[in-house]
Structure 1
Amino acid sequence: MRRATPDPMIEARRRGPIPKDVDPTIEVLVNDIIAKVADKWTMLILEALDEHGTLRFTQLGKAVGRISQKMLTQTVRQMERDGLVRRTVHPVIPPHVDYTLTPLGESLGAAFCGVWIWAETHHAEIERARRAFAAAGEASDVSACIETP
């Protein structure tokens, strides 16, 4: 994912104090967006459109890779519903459909870019922690198999 320029409005609010009261409507929206963004297909489609620009449906499927036509259809429809993707149907025979990111979709890509950078920065630490956890699990598995008198 390419590095996006930060949105000055978001950056100013992020650096400001944490609000004391949380608007329940915003909380529901945030939980909904996180659930969708956590979906790997949404992020892969977002990345493909960010890298390649406007793509036809079949090109988008190839760029994402290993996604069924049904899942691609469901995901881009949801992204279109949320205003992240613009779908353009060309009235030709045979008809074809193009997908492109909207400015809102581009801004979500910029937000995800921060997660990408975080993962890249902390990759070695995460791998060390995973190895340590696996080793501790193996040690406890071995000790559970040893009979005590």
Structure 2
Amino acid sequence: MNIIYVILLSVVSAILYRLGGSSKANQDKEFPWIPSWFKSIPKKRDVMCNLVTLLAAFLLGVSAPWWAWFLSFGLTWASLSTYWDEQFGYDNHYFHMFMIGFSMLPIMFFSFPVELGMRCLIIAIAGGAWSKLNGDAYLEETGRGFLMPITLLGILI
């Protein structure tokens, strides 16, 4: 049952990730069914995608002290806030997604270290390739948002 929840959370994360990166006009066009009061909430990507992903990890049985979850939340927020333009000279989505995966490092020390470590590579390759193959901002951003929780299913293997 938790797998179904993670899939649903991945869809929610995809929508939130796109909402966090699109203009007000695009939000109204792409998501007319979402209330305008919700669209006006800032940091939908940085905070809400982050919480959705951590909830998915919790539902899959990832266990760590509260402070590890808190640190991972902060690291993920930082990862979602940059695309490493200054370091690479362009939006490096491979590294961006790797750092999103790596943000769970504090949790990795307590639960599923190998699986969560492998997730760093999987989410980096999948997210980078997805962004490279899709020129459309809507598809690109919803895809990366979807990958954040769904790649956690790898810990079940």
Q: Which has the higher contact order (CA 8 A, sep 6+)?
A: 2
- Structure with the bigger percentage of strand: 1
Q: Same fold (TM over 0.5)?
A: no
- Give the TM-score of the pair, scaled to structure 2: 0.28
Q: Which has the larger radius of gyration?
A: 1
